[in-house]
Amino acid sequence: MQIALRSPLRVWIRVLAAGVGLAAAGCAALGISAPGELLGTARSEATIAAGLREALQFGAERSVSQASRPGGFLDDPRVRIPLPPQLDKLGRGLRALGFDGTVDDLEVAMNRSAERAAREAQGPLVGAVAGLRIADARAILAGPGDAATQYLRRESEAALRERFAPVVESAMRSAGVYRAFEDLLSRNRALALLPSPTVELNRYVTEETLDGLFTLIASEERRIRSDPAARTTDLLRAVFGEP
């Protein structure tokens, strides 16, 4: 009769397998990830920050592309620029008297100027993203769907506004905003409807244009977070998850 001898190596392998099984079962019982899962999903703070920056860069590029098209502001209810609040009552009064065209001309011109200005926004926006030092990247990743966009806005909006204001003013002149505004005020004076309001149009359109661009960037960030098909690079998939 032959007796099968267990080699020390075979015994060691069986003991190791049993130990791994017990460890996995223990992790499951405690509601934590198994060791292999932790190693496979570990992401450094630097990797997360790089992924957030890449998501913002894609968002900035796509948003500028959308906003700078004809109708990019005018035809998109998310970013369409309305009359300034100071002109709202006057605008309603003129419409009630049948002067819709006078009001529409100003609204259209403001939105066209935002579309023109958006063409020049990609450089400053992408530059702001590239220079962004993201602190506490894990908290931003775990935050709301537009957390990275909010962070970008807090960190860069003041500098962007300063760079963007002259671009918007030039676009406003090209789009005929000031002429349309003067026509509206002239109509008001002729009809003696209301005292002529004081409006800083350049500042208003600059703020609305920037607000619209950040709105679109936030929308792109949410899409990357929620739609696996939008994660088109290895880095985005590593940070936001595989499809």
- Same domain? For 67 and 182 the reply is yes
pLDDT at 218: 97
- Same domain? For 73 and 108 the reply is yes
pLDDT at 18: 43
Q: Domain range spanning residue 25?
A: 1-42
Mean predicted confidence (pLDDT) in 81-89 = 96
209-224 confidence digits (pLDDT tens): 999 999 999 999 999 9
- Same domain? For 96 and 197 the reply is yes
Please name the amino acid found at residue 212. G
pLDDT at 43: 81
Q: pLDDT grade, residue 243 (50/70/90)?
A: low
Q: pLDDT grade, residue 42 (50/70/90)?
A: low
Q: pLDDT grade, residue 242 (50/70/90)?
A: confident
Looking at every residue in the chain, the average pLDDT score rounds to 85
- Same domain? For 91 and 17 the reply is no
- Same domain? For 57 and 159 the reply is yes
Please name the amino acid found at residue 54. E
Least confident residue range of 23-27, 170-174, 228-232: 23-27
- Same domain? For 225 and 156 the reply is yes
Is the pLDDT at 138 greater than 80, yes or no?
Answer: yes
pLDDT at 131: 87
- Same domain? For 113 and 89 the reply is yes
Is the pLDDT at 4 greater than 60, yes or no?
Answer: no
- Same domain? For 29 and 61 the reply is no
pLDDT at 201: 95
pLDDT at 122: 86
- Same domain? For 83 and 1 the reply is no
pLDDT at 123: 87
- Same domain? For 69 and 107 the reply is yes
**Model's pTM, two decimal places?**
0.79
Q: pLDDT grade, residue 76 (50/70/90)?
A: very high
Nearest Cα neighbor of 204 from 108, 85, 92, 72 is 85
Q: What percent of the chain has pLDDT over 90?
A: 70
- Domain count of the chain? 2
- Same domain? For 34 and 112 the reply is no
Distance from C-alpha of 81 to C-alpha of 205, rounded to nearest angstrom: 8
Is the pLDDT at 40 greater than 90, yes or no?
Answer: no
Q: In terms of C-beta distances under 8 Å and separation of at least 24 residues, what long-range contacts does 183-188 make, across chains too?
A: 183/102, 183/105, 183/106, 184/87, 184/90, 184/91, 184/94, 184/102, 184/103, 184/105, 184/106, 187/94, 187/99, 187/102, 188/90, 188/94
- Same domain? For 7 and 127 the reply is no
Q: pLDDT grade, residue 239 (50/70/90)?
A: very high
